[in-house]
Structure 1
Amino acid sequence: MMNEPQLFQLLKNEVLLNYQKHYPYFQGNWKQFSSQDIQNLIDLIDEEQKQRISEKWIYTHLKPETNEKLPRKDMLDILCQFCGFSGWDEFVFINRKEDLPLQNNKKKQNYFWIIGIGLMLILFIFYWTKKMKTDSKTIEIQDEFTQEKIADEDVKVYQIDDNKKVPVKVEDGKATIDSVSPETKISVESPFYKKREVEVAKSNTENQILLMQPDDYALMLKAFMQSDIKDWQTRKEQLQKILADDLEVIVMLPNNLGAEYYNKKEFSEKLVIPTSTIKKMQILEIKNNSEGKIQFIRIKQE
């Protein structure tokens, strides 16, 4: 009979399998699970279970190859529910039954049926999409107030068709959608602007302008990191206003060396005095709390 750490390893495998149903192009393991995969998983659980797990928790409990201690039961319940179980108790009960090999065979058979049906649906959707495609469309992304193009590195654009989210390359502030169907949408995301998801305009014009509303606090933080402000006291006071007390900062280190974690006090101390290291940091993601203050930051250190 499997012990609890072994059962948790089995649950981690179930989480990966369920993640691959939403992102079939990921065929790796937890060691190969990237920061983008982690964010995708957090968003999936938030959307389906209305529960939130932190990036730090995933690094602590899911990324390691082995786990000596079992996480809290409430977190195990969230993962089990994400995989289709009522909770940890049901997961343990099912996987400790003596006829586990038979159940696994039934599961495999069910997976084959699901894969077969899924392939048929994909072929049908592909055929239907081919029939519905029209001309390409170019989306120019601008700041709502300045009407200036937003820097390519500051935005990510995704094309959404049939609930599939595909990255679109941005060049010179423009994103070109090669194949537009009546249901095509685009999602524009940026750490410095509020996310927008809109339908591609159904018109005969080739170009479309999309105005993005700036996040003032995020742009202020970017300016702090890139400027040469010498008045550290002023900078400290301004940071106190825009950063939430429960701030979490994840800094992704270069050369796959892992990540560093900072709280508000630690991160503010790094920003008070400008350094060349701070200026080389690239903000990847910012999240605000209900009061508009910055609550989470993900940074790439070059």
Structure 2
Amino acid sequence: MENHSAPSDVKDWNGDTIVMFQEDLFQEVKGKVSEKWFYTYFKNESSKLPRVDMLNLLSSYVGFENWHAFKASHISEEKKSNSVKKLSWLIIFIPITIVFMVTMNSKNEFKFCFNDDLNSTIVNQIDIKVLQDDQSPLYFKTDSLGCFNYETKSDKITFVVYSPYYKTDTIVRSIDKNEHQSIKLQSDDYALVLKYYTSGNVKDWKKHKHKLQQLIHNDAQIYRFYEDNIGVEIYTKEDFVRLLTIPTKTLKKIKVLDKSYENNQIKTLKFTVK
């Protein structure tokens, strides 16, 4: 707050504010916290404290020697007297307070599993963006069973699902109708056709090439993303078709990341080779 302009409530900080905090923290105490860590302990309701080394880091940032010194400074002289009477009162009061806090902070648990048009479980990971009122969205992925769990104090959840092979959809559900719900996603036929042609399991490669020429727009913008953020390579339509019509082991390692269409043809495509 002394060095930057930021909302007084940490939960209102956006991505830019978090970056400024990370830079200020490093400048002051030569320590770092990741954006994921920040969202876990500051933007969301965490069930436990961070590790002691992180508490020591933050305590140092606000002018204390360590976490122990920070706690000690917030204890009044009256609380430091460990009389038997006060200890007995705390023994009675603390469990009541815990029960009250648990009741006040109880959360609703949502669970969803995803199926395709044939009611088969979608085992490929699906990206999920949970939308929150007046807060940044939260990002998740489905587990190995094709399901997604989320806890919130709200009685309603709104989230967007993304998948290379299924159409993007926005889902809204209420807790009173949430009994391990199964959500059906609509297949993206063009993406599934492309997946078939990238599998390499075809015999007539000339016919294979002709089908790809029809599937991809002449002015398509195609990007290959390399792992570990090495870089991005731009492909022409002919470059990409050539890649998919040479029977190599690379074909089965191609993974579509994103795509868009124009006139029933793929106009933009992002892919990687695992």
Identity %: 24
Shift of 1:164: 2.6
C-alpha distance 232-182 of structure 1, shift in aligned 2 (>3 A): same
In structure 2, the gaps of 5 or more residues are 1-12, 24-102
- Separation in structure 2 between the aligned mates of residue 24 and residue 212 of structure 1, nearest angstrom: 36
TM-score, normalised to structure 2, is 0.59
In structure 1, the gaps of 5 or more residues are 1-19, 30-129
Matches within 5 A, 1:92-111: none
Number of aligned residue pairs: 180
Deviation string, structure 1 residues 30-79 (Cα, Å, up to 9, x no partner): xxxxxxxxxxxxxxxxxxxxxxxxxxxxxxxxxxxxxxxxxxxxxxxxxx
Deviation string, structure 1 residues 112-141 (Cα, Å, up to 9, x no partner): xxxxxxxxxxxxxxxxxx979742011111
- Does structure 1 conserve the Cα–Cα contact (< 8 Å) formed by 2:129 and 2:140? yes
Matches within 5 A, 1:29-178: 134-143=107-116, 145-153=117-125, 155-162=126-133, 164-171=136-143, 172-178=145-151
Shift of 1:286: 1.5
Number of the residue aligned with 2:256: 283
Q: Return the letter of the residue paired with 1:158.
A: K
Number of the residue aligned with 1:82: none
Shift of 1:258: 0.9
Q: Return the letter of the residue paired with 1:219.
A: L
Matches within 5 A, 1:168-247: 168-171=140-143, 172-179=145-152, 181-247=154-220
C-alpha distance 26-249 of structure 1, shift in aligned 2 (>3 A): farther
C-alpha distance 185-25 of structure 1, shift in aligned 2 (>3 A): farther
* 1:146 counterpart SS class: coil
Number of the residue aligned with 1:268: 241
Structure with higher helix content: 1
* 2:182 counterpart SS class: strand
Q: Return the letter of the residue paired with 1:200.
A: R
Answer yes or no: is 1:295 the counterpart of 2:272.
Answer: no
* 1:200 counterpart SS class: strand
* 2:122 counterpart SS class: coil
- Separation in structure 2 between the aligned mates of residue 267 and residue 221 of structure 1, nearest angstrom: 12
C-alpha distance 190-131 of structure 1, shift in aligned 2 (>3 A): farther
- Does structure 2 conserve the Cα–Cα contact (< 8 Å) formed by 1:225 and 1:274? no
Q: Return the letter of the residue paired with 1:161.
A: Q
Deviates more, 1:209-218 or 1:252-261: 252-261
Shift of 1:220: 0.8
- Separation in structure 2 between the aligned mates of residue 26 and residue 283 of structure 1, nearest angstrom: 31
C-alpha distance 132-227 of structure 1, shift in aligned 2 (>3 A): farther
- Separation in structure 2 between the aligned mates of residue 26 and residue 264 of structure 1, nearest angstrom: 39
- Separation in structure 1 between the aligned mates of residue 216 and residue 17 of structure 2, nearest angstrom: 37
Shift of 1:184: 2.3
Shift of 1:218: 0.4
- Separation in structure 2 between the aligned mates of residue 196 and residue 180 of structure 1, nearest angstrom: 23
- Separation in structure 2 between the aligned mates of residue 170 and residue 26 of structure 1, nearest angstrom: 28
CA RMSD of aligned residues (A): 2.6
- Does structure 1 conserve the Cα–Cα contact (< 8 Å) formed by 2:164 and 2:256? yes
Answer yes or no: is 1:251 the counterpart of 2:208.
Answer: no
* 2:165 counterpart SS class: coil
- Separation in structure 2 between the aligned mates of residue 219 and residue 160 of structure 1, nearest angstrom: 28
- Does structure 1 conserve the Cα–Cα contact (< 8 Å) formed by 2:111 and 2:178? no
Shift of 1:242: 1.4
Q: Return the letter of the residue paired with 1:249.
A: I
Compare CA radii of gyration and give the structure with the larger one.
2
Q: Return the letter of the residue paired with 1:146.
A: L
Deviates more, 1:254-263 or 1:189-198: 254-263
- Does structure 1 conserve the Cα–Cα contact (< 8 Å) formed by 2:130 and 2:157? yes
- Separation in structure 1 between the aligned mates of residue 226 and residue 139 of structure 2, nearest angstrom: 24
TM-score, normalised to structure 1, is 0.54
Shift of 1:181: 1.4
